[in-house]
A = this chain, B = another copy of it.
Amino acid sequence: MHRIAVTDGLAEEAISHMKSKGYVVDEISFSKEQLNNGALSNYDAVIIRSATKLDKLAIESNSGGKLKVICRAGVGVDNIDINVATSNNIMVLNAPTSTTKSVAELTIGHLLSCTRFISKGDRLMRKGIWAKKDLRGSELSGKNLGLIGFGRIARNVSMLGNAFGMSIHAYDPYLPDELFGNATKHESLESLFSNCTHISVHCNLTSQTRNLIGKKLIDLMPLKGADGSNCGNYLVSLSRGGIVNESEIYQCLNSGKLKGVGLDVFETEPVIKNDLLNCDNFVATPHIAASTVEAQIRVGMESVSQIIMALDGEIPTNLLNKDLLN
């Protein structure tokens, strides 16, 4: 009988599914000391989120027992030493596709909130101000939407943008040409920004992308839409804080070079104080792009299905240390 440890919580539906397969599931959290003393060695698999750190010592302390699978219920695996797992013959899995739709939907939500003054209109009405005449917005339809990074989420945003009648432009130096689909591929960020009134950030935070988006690029944006309308420029980011240079964005909002900005991610989180929060045409959400009931259930179910494949002797589709197969 397979025993599974769930250390950082998981959707109920996923727990039930494992139980219905006859697995013994322990929802249990371990201290660093317990992890370093083989607390997982009696489990076939462990499902973690970001709270449990499985570094070299923790993994080595639990190898040699039953442990065959580490699954990250989510995307980021920076809390797992994958190389050490590989050399100890332990599979590392994740659940990267589960949050795609939620993030893509909120991206469009941020774009619409910016272009149509939804949050601003709501805020003013709660203050007793009927600002109808001051809130003339612009349509997404007919505009060029520039996507920085064209991975899974960006491609989902692109599909939604198409439905709104937007033309999709993308910059992603790591992506093979055939994955750009009907999007116009740009070879530089300068070219992307020069062509787009609407920009959405979908890349990872790395040393290359830190402070990538600032005044210099935004100055290139056309202000006038591809359809000829005077819509202004818009920027949204739901990827990682730090890619967008917040102090420069603040300047661009105040100068009118950006008409609206929506951020779900920030240089410092949680945000306590941030000048952007004093800007009228700024929309902030507290890092909730993946925070939906559906995404959380899907993350759990995707994790479980990966673990089932692994324990049934199949190759899990989300296996991250493919070296194990050699």
**A binding-site residues for B, Cβ under 8 Å:** 101-102, 105-106, 108-110, 112-113, 116-119, 121-126, 128, 130-132, 135-142, 159-160, 162-165, 227, 229-231, 269-273, 277, 283-288, 291-297
Contact = CB atoms under 8 A, between A and B. Distances in A.
B277 A125 contact: yes
B135 A291 contact: yes
A309 B87 CA distance: 78
Contacts of A124: 286
B270 A122 contact: no
B285 A136 contact: no
Q: Which 10 residue pairs spanning A and B have beta carbons closest together?
A: A163-B163, A109-B112, A130-B270, A121-B285, A132-B286, A125-B284, A119-B119, A119-B122, A139-B294, A130-B286
A190 to B, nearest CB: 27
A160 B292 CA distance: 20
B286 A135 contact: yes
Contacts of A137: 102, 106, 288, 291-293
Nearest to A109: B112
A112 B106 contact: yes
A116 B109 contact: yes
Given A136-B292, A271-B125, A296-B136, A286 B105 contact: no
Nearest to A131: B286
**Residue among A105, A113, A140, A164 with most chain B CB within 10 A:** A105
B294 A116 contact: no
B118 A286 contact: no
Contact of A288 (B112, B135, B164, B227): B135
A48 B325 CA distance: 74
A139 B295 contact: yes
A163 B284 CA distance: 25
Contact of A138 (B113, B271, B286, B292): B292
A294 B112 contact: no
Given A119-B113, A231-B293, A294-B142, A135 B285 contact: yes
A285 B101 contact: no
Contact of A132 (B118, B121, B288): B288
A292 B132 CA distance: 11
Contacts of A270: 130, 132
A105 B115 CA distance: 10
B294 A105 contact: no
A300 to B, nearest CB: 13
A286 B121 contact: yes
A198 to B, nearest CB: 13
Contact of A294 (B110, B113, B138): B138
Nearest to A143: B294
A163 B104 CA distance: 12
